[in-house]
Amino acid sequence: MENLALVAVVAIALAFDFTNGFHDAANSIATVVATRVLTPRLAVVWAAAFNFIAFLILKTHVAAAIAKDVVHSDVLSIGVVFAGLLGAIAWNLVTYYLGLPSSSSHALVGGMVGAGVAKAGLSAVISDGLSKIAVFIVLSPLIGLALAFIFMVVILQISARVHNVELLNRGFRKLQLVSAAAYSLGHGGNDAQKTMGLIFALLIATHKISANAGVPLWVVLAAHTAIAAGTLTGGWRVVHTLGSRITRLQPHGGVAAESAAAATIFFVTAHGIPVSTTHTITGSIVGVGSIQRLSAVRWGVAGRVVWAWILTIPGAALVAAASYGLLKVF
Amino acid sequence: MDRRAIFFLGAAAAAALLIPATEEGLRWVPIWVAVIYVVLAVASWLDWRSSHR
């Protein structure tokens, strides 16, 4: 019976990864579509491919952090992970329906915290681990914004010395393929690892593997396959919001935004910190927009996005806690 | 009034507020982010001032 429940929750975790694909991963291609470097169809295939191969480059520190640093491992059970996932998936679907680029990562962390607290009270939460995640919720878009701004300054300085505008634009369009690929690598590395972390936690909780073991290869491959499949199915509302409604982008702006976001995500992934890739790319796009003037950024849309971010952890936590309560009743 | 410089100073303040909440090994990150935003704010203000003279 326990094995059956384990398989079912692993399947739901992979379904979450898939929803992350169509909800969050589409952000990888927002700038490359907005600048018309690739058609939406090609951009999706490009992003999915680099989402998938991320496991060859990035280590699984983020997965370990999700499994061991959010909720105490003795609190974790199949029921807690299941309720946490329900909270995160429900929140993702609501924000997807509303076309808001909220964070699947924060939904997942909120879901795990809500289910853990519902089971064992506030002591279930590892405050150090949670505060590290909370700090980088704010820092990652700030880093992305500053880097994108600095990259733009450098790019504009170089561009001022080149007189053939057509040649310059062609160069940046090619460069954007590289920066979009780098961003998709970072996105695949950080986001797929959250699902890996959940499955890893489940395997530890059910004593299938030791807490000191590494993440099994089948878990790594399954998580990357699910997120790549999710990316392939799209998420065009969110692409539209990020790619064209926050600020209008040119190819050189796309290069700056994606490079800045990729650098930020590579850094946090190397330090085992789960962040919102949506936050990071949004911060970077705002950084590019603010190079000219702040009015180039459509703050109404950006503000709506911020509200979605603020509400995500408590919203997903509440749904997860309610789900755990219902599970206990039945 | 250079609104961009004010925005960058706000970002610097947000990063500075996070310094005590960050674990010791990573504390250099919000410190550097705050410093970079202060530099960006000064640069932005100088740019604004030169274009408004």
Mean pLDDT, residues A172-201: 90
Q: Bin A215: left if φ > 0, else alpha if -120 < ψ < 50, else beta.
A: beta
The distance from CA A325 to its chain's CA centroid, rounded to whole angstroms, is 28
Distance, CA of A281 to CA of A181 (rounded, Å): 13
Name the residue facing A139 among B15, B23, B40 (closest C-beta): B15
- The full 3-state SS of B4-44, as one line of letters, equals HHHHHHHHHHHHHHHCCCCCHHHCHHHHHHHHHHHHHHHHH
Our CA-based measurement puts residue B4 at a distance from the nearest CA of chain A, in whole angstroms, of 6
Mean per-residue pLDDT for A244-264? 80
- Shortest CA distance from A273: residue in chain B: B26
Look at residue B2 in the predicted model and tell me its pLDDT.
Answer: 78
Which of A127, A131, A149, A150 to mutate against chain B (most B CBs within 10 Å)? A149
Q: What is the pLDDT of residue A193?
A: 92
pLDDT at site A40:
76
- Can you tell me the mean pLDDT for A143-148? 96
A136 band by pLDDT with thresholds 50, 70 and 90: very high
Distance from CA of A139 to the nearest CA of B (A): 7
A141 → chain B, closest CA residue = B11
C-alpha distance from B23 to closest chain A C-alpha (Å)? 7
Round to whole Å and give the CA distance between A194 and A135. 18
pLDDT at A29 over 60: yes
Predicted-complex ipTM score:
0.95
Q: What is the mean pLDDT of residues A79-98?
A: 85
Residues of B in contact with A132 (CB under 8 A): 22-23, 26
pLDDT band at B42 (very low <50, low <70, confident <90, very high): very high
**What pLDDT score was predicted for residue A231?**
84
Rounded to the nearest angstrom, the minimum Cα separation between A132 and chain B is 6
- The full DSSP string for A128-144 is HHHHHHHHHHHHHHHHH
Q: Is A163 on the interface with B (CB under 8 A)?
A: no
Q: Report the residue of B33, B35, B39 to disrupt the A interface, i.e. the one with the largest count of A CBs within 10 Å.
A: B33
Nearest to B18 among A139, A150, A271 (CB): A139
Q: What are the pLDDT digits (tens) for A15-27?
A: 888 877 876 656 7
Confidence at residue A146, expressed as pLDDT on a 0 to 100 scale? 96
Asked whether residue A239 carries a pLDDT value surpassing 60, the answer given is: no
Strand partners, A125: A71
Are B36 and A134 within 8 A, CB to CB? no
pLDDT one-digit tens code per residue, A210-238: 878 888 999 999 999 998 888 888 655 54
Question: What is the SS3 assignment for A205?
Answer: helix
Residue A96: predicted pLDDT: 72
Whether A157 contacts chain B with CB within 8 A: no
